[in-house]
Structures are given as structure tokens and as C-alpha cells.
Structure 1
């Protein structure tokens, strides 16, 4: 079975790029500043999709509602901003997917809950800003995922209707947003996934284990 779509939209962290090393690094930098030992990447990796909240929970055991949460969150974001391009890379297996989309002149874009303060310079540093047809960030529209507004805005910018798009993501919120927008949804099992329901329970139209499967699904391989 192949998907007949005019545009492909990607989540950023965990789907298009591997940002876990720098997000975990910021958490470990906070631990080190407090005299605590650094923790392995795999300790942080499942919670990368939860952003600062997830990283603070893993780094210092601090959750929203803690009296110092907001102060610690601001510190985390400052530390992350200072190092966010050190180790972050486009997933190697995603590069052929983007190349194939570009060669076929198939529109593609990025829709992320990451704030533009981080997303725009990061996507630019990775060389994706000029390739992507659009970048919709967590603060681009009044709502972020799982609300469909960011995906609908991306479709509008690309000049396609939502039903002609597929959204690829590695979080339940991605599937919820895509389905609410009327798009086909693909759950990326190579991503961070979190610690909630299994990826098979998210309700995505398709679950794929690796980027080459996306090429097949799109009829490009």
C-alpha cells in the first residue's frame, strides 16, 4: 500500500533529527554544576519528547509544581540554547528520504512544539531551513500539538489541503494532531516514544520501524 499525498510534514526532535545528546547534555550540565555525576544518554532518551519538563524530571527529579521548577526550567533552557548544535544531527537514515522528496519536488515541512527561539537557529544550523517548505514552531500558532492548528497552518503555507498531507512523528501528540487535522499519520518507531502507551496503541494509520519504510510508503522506493 502506498500513500497518495502532495506534502509530507515531519515532527522535528526524534523524527527528523536526533537532538537527545544535546538535551541530555544540558541536563547533565545541571547535575555537574550541583556536584552530581553525569548520567548515561539512555537515561534521558525516552523523555526527550517531553522537553524541559522531561529532562528536569530525569536530571534532578523535579516536576511541575515543585517550588523551584520554573527557575530550574529557565536554567535548563539557557544551558540547552548554549549547546543545542554541538551533537544534534539529522538522522542519517532520514537524509535519503529528504533527498528523494526534493528530487521528486514533493513539498515537505516541519511542525514542532519546540519554540521558534530554538527551532529556527537549530534547523538553520543543520542546513534544513532552505530545504523545508515551511517550519511551524510551538509558538507559531495560538495552540501547539496535539491541537491540529500547527499542522493546518503548515498545510496552508504549503498550499495544500490537509487531506493531501501525511504527518510523521514519534509521539502520541503527533498522531492526535494529525488525525484531528484530517491528515494521514505515520508513527516513527525510531524516535523517542516516551513511556506511555505503546506506539501500536496510538492509533496512527501506519507504524514504521525505519525511514526507508517511509520511502516505500510514499511510493518513492
Structure 2
């Protein structure tokens, strides 16, 4: 097995189960903006989109204002973000091996504070590259490249774990190995040749034996 020195994680759909807390507030936003009552099945396709891309596809005029309201509704969602079972064990095991761990996600800093810091998960992370940190976002490689620069590691020394096509494409363009997190993925379309396919979070540990 390749001797990786670090691993970067996507958040939504990879580390965190945030499907309900993102999609139900989005349904509320759509109804407020258009008067249309969309079903859960209709909005599920947006689960893997970066936040502003959702606003653009839905054609809202004041995207920034509507997006800020969506973020507020998400943060107020009672159930909140839930860590996929087994991930805390993964974080602890890799930390004990001295593996550098980091988050590279399209989340805003505010969302990160709510979903990650409040749960104490940030204690395992050496960095967090979020939406506010780069001009370009996944599938552009800029967030991953910034992460590599921050931890002073090369692309072939770090594995990226994600659940979406944008994650896969960003890793490809950054020339990083990619592990496809099937447990939280909405679609494998376009993810043609991931370096690894993982069925459950604890499978991550097999890559660092």
C-alpha cells in the first residue's frame, strides 16, 4: 500500500451526513422564492452541488441574499449534521500514526464552525480549506493545491476522499489520488477511475496499514 503522509476529506456526504439538513431548508427556500412546493426527490440532485451553484441553477436573482438565508435555515435545522459511523475511529487511528489530516470543502467558515468545530472534530485536523479561502472552487484544483501548500506536502503524498464528481475532478486536476466514498454519494456518474472505492468509513484505515 502506498505510504501516504496525509489525507484530505470532503465534508458533506463524506465525513458528515448533512442530506436532510441541507435539502429540507432548500425546499423551504424554493417555496419562499417561487411559491412552488418541491418534493424531496426533486431537490436531491443538488446534494452534491457547491452552494452557490445551486442558487445559479435555480436562477434566483439575488443569489447572495438567498444563499445567506439558506445557510441560516441549515444552521437552524434541529437534527444538524451527523458524523458517519466509524469516522471518529478513523480520525483517532490516523492521528496516532502521525498522518496529517485536513478538510477541503465548499462549506463556508460559518457552517464549518457549526458542523465541525461544535462537535470537536477540528481537533484532529491540521487544516481546513473552505469556500472563503479560495477564488476558485471544486472541481477546480485550487482548494486542494492550497491545502498541499499549507501542510508542505506533495500531491502524491496526500490522498483526497470525497463523494462527488466535483471532488474526483478536483483531485485529478491536482494530480492527487482519490478515494471514492460510496456511503454518502448521490451518484457515481463520471467517477470513472477512482484510485480506491470505499464502502464504509472504516475502509479508510486499510489504505494506511
Q: Give TM-score, length-normalised by structure 1.
A: 0.79
Per the alignment, residue 142 of structure 1 pairs with 135
Structure 1 unmatched ranges of 5 or more = 57-61
Matched residue SS, 2:8: strand
Per the alignment, residue 206 of structure 1 pairs with 196
Per the alignment, residue 17 of structure 1 pairs with 16
Structure 2 unmatched ranges of 5 or more = none
Per the alignment, residue 59 of structure 1 pairs with none
How many residue pairs end up in the alignment?
208
**Residue 175, structure 1, aligned to residue 165, structure 2:** no
Per the alignment, residue 155 of structure 1 pairs with 148
The CA RMSD over aligned residues, in Å, is 2.8
Q: Quick one: structure 1 residues 95 and 171, their matched pair in 2 at CA, closer, same or farther if it must change by over 3 Å? A: same
Q: Quick one: structure 1 residues 82 and 172, their matched pair in 2 at CA, closer, same or farther if it must change by over 3 Å? A: same
Q: Quick one: structure 1 residues 25 and 64, their matched pair in 2 at CA, closer, same or farther if it must change by over 3 Å? A: closer
Quick check: 87-96 or 71-80, which moved more? 71-80
Cα distance between partner residues in 2 of 1:87 and 1:64: 24
Q: Quick one: structure 1 residues 160 and 198, their matched pair in 2 at CA, closer, same or farther if it must change by over 3 Å? A: closer
Q: Quick one: structure 1 residues 103 and 45, their matched pair in 2 at CA, closer, same or farther if it must change by over 3 Å? A: farther
How far did 1:157 drift? 1.8
Cα distance between partner residues in 2 of 1:140 and 1:53: 15
Per the alignment, residue 80 of structure 1 pairs with 74
